[in-house]
Amino acid sequence: MTGNSIPVRTAEAEVQAHSTELRKELGLFDLVMAQVLLVIVLDFFGTAAKAGSSHVVFWLVAFVLFFIPLAMVVAHLNRLMPLEGGLYEWARLAFGDQVGFLVAWNLWLFVMLYVAVIGLVTTTFVAYALGPAATWIASSRWLILAVSFALILAMMLLSALGLRVGKWLGNAGSIATLITLGVLIATPLLNRWRGTLAEYHPLRLVMPPLTVFSLSVFAKMMFGALSGFEYVAIFAGECRSPARNLTRSVLITAPFIALIYIFATSSILAFVAPEAVDVVGPIPQALRLGAHGFGSAGLAGFIVPLVIILLFVNYPTTFSVYFSASARLPMVAGWDHLLPAWFTRLHAKYKTPVNSILFLGAVTLAGSAAALIGVGPQEAYELLLTWGFTFYAIAYLALFAIPFLSPKQRGLRPRLWLQLAAVSGFLMTLLYVVLSIFPVIDVESSWGYSLKIAGVVLGANLLGWMIYRAGRRKEESAVECGH
């Protein structure tokens, strides 16, 4: 039974009935490409580089305690509940409407804040591509704001057109990302071969110091870089054979992604000291410094900007997938009568939730503007990223809790070994939430930074709970009036 005394299988059938209106656009290849795009988070290569020579140990611990448990839990829940809305529906059917609503709320806030960094990232990458003379671009607040507005409006349009168009853009972004990371991984090897790099040891194992800073770096790189496998499941109602293909997409990509993270971080550290890493653009920074490995100045001057442009493609395509998925959450919550039916309105031709897209776009535009008030670009970037991923982590606490805390009568608990994996993922996620308030960059006030993070996260969840309760009271009043 769910929190509203509706049998689980009945609730699933209702969601699947609504999903019949949606276009089934995503096959296995599209899902694999989407997993690459969503799980390889370029923002956290800079955070991982802050760990210095200890990053390999950190990555290995994160894979064992978080990444593998995540893949196992997501594969289990995908098989049981291949439903449009993904984690929101899993949590709702496991713990009831209130938990489900707050999970969707946190997922929605995560995407809203994460997409808001698009102007900061874009201007930083353009500055690196154009060279030292263009440094001013990355610090111009008005330019950052203008770029944010233009790209968010473009994402709204693409989301309205649907996955028939959006999946090809996502696939192109995944391929561009893999090409760029391949060049990054090859760069120190080329420099070593040409004799322009004294030494390179990508798999060196160095034990990290046990400090609050190093633990904060570990928690951020673990959760920020390795989360995302479940997000594609939001599109389950728009997938072909979702129970099978969503699970296969996780199993295919997991080992490949793990290797990319280790070798790409090592490549950045081959050219940049941990304290000098640009957390907004660590990959273009490393490519610029390692350019002599490509040979002549002319060849390097051609390859590096081209690769940075390919890398930039990752951001609008990744954000576009996140944006489209997040726009489905209010739609599905509307199907479950947790939000007004206004959010469920589909475009007559493209079958996309147009009202939900408009609302998410408007709030994201506001967030991108508010983030630049009173802080520099690097701190604004770190605040948006930390706020966003802390909201995401709160939703993950529910994800990992399902296998070992959901009531037994729901039939969602797996075997003991998978429950233990879920406990590991839960504890690692909780570690991230606790440590997220500690900055990994230089900020004007550490206490001020911590208060901003904690205050926004707690306040936003209180607001979400109040919205849920207000909706419930309104529904109960309507039922009483009807009687």
Question: Domain limits of the chain?
Answer: 27-454
Model pLDDT, residue 2: 42
DSSP state of 208: P
DSSP string, 137-199: GGG-HHHHHHHHHHHHHHHHHHHHH-HHHHHHHHHHHHHHHHHHHHHHHHHHHHHHHHT-SS-
Model pLDDT, residue 174: 93
Single out the residue of 41, 111, 67 nearest to residue 279, CA to CA. 41
Is 27-454 in CATH node 1.10.3370.10?
no
Q: Which tokens belong to 60?
A: 């290995």
Q: Which tokens belong to 94?
A: 């496991």
DSSP string, 365-392: HHHHHHTTTTS-HHHHHHHHHHHHHHHH
Model pLDDT, residue 165: 86
Helix (H) or strand (E) holding 308: helix 297-335
What confidence tens digit (pLDDT) does each residue in 127-153 have?
776 777 777 777 777 888 888 888 889
Q: What is the pTM of this model?
A: 0.84
Model pLDDT, residue 4: 47
- Residue 346, beta-bridge partner list: 353
Model pLDDT, residue 472: 81
Q: Which residues of the chain have pLDDT under 50?
A: 1-5
Model pLDDT, residue 118: 77
Q: Which tokens belong to 429?
A: 């996620």
Distance CA 1, CA 8 (A): 6
Distance CA 221, CA 63 (A): 11
The radius of gyration of the chain's CA atoms, rounded to the nearest angstrom, is 22
Single out the residue of 463, 471, 460 nearest to residue 342, CA to CA. 471
Distance CA 377, CA 382 (A): 9
